[in-house]
Amino acid sequence: MFIHTVLFQISPKFVRAYLRDCKMWAKEAKIAPGFISYKTLKRINDKNQFASVYCWKNKRHHFNFMKANHEELVKKSKAKVLVLGYFNFDAIDAVKSDKSDK
């Protein structure tokens, strides 16, 4: 699994727009080959910081999605954000709960 995370600084007045933008990006990702999941995260100890986290089957699927969709989605996005960093990870181990998470 390949995980792509973008960390943002977002003014409180743009958080609602950022969340709408996230839904737009995730909707496009959801129909892309290799997409697994998406989450929006808010940092607890750092004010006004949020992360968009995408999980893909592999790095190639992520890069194909970005090549095909990134520029158009950036144009459509409404929130003013400051990118603090890009983080890419390959999963090397995983443990799942035996309990149902319903």
pTM score of the predicted model: 0.88
With CA atoms as reference, report the closest residue to 38 among 21, 51, 55, 58.
Answer: 55
pLDDT digits (tens, 9 = 90+) for 12-45: 999 999 999 999 999 999 999 999 999 999 999 9
Total residue length of the chain: 102
pLDDT class of 96 with cuts at 50, 70, 90: confident
pLDDT in tens, 55-69: 999 999 999 999 999
- Identify residue 39 by its one-letter amino acid code: K
- Residue 94: pLDDT band with limits 50, 70, 90: confident
Give the domains, in start order, of the chain with CATH numbers: 2-90 (3.30.70.100)
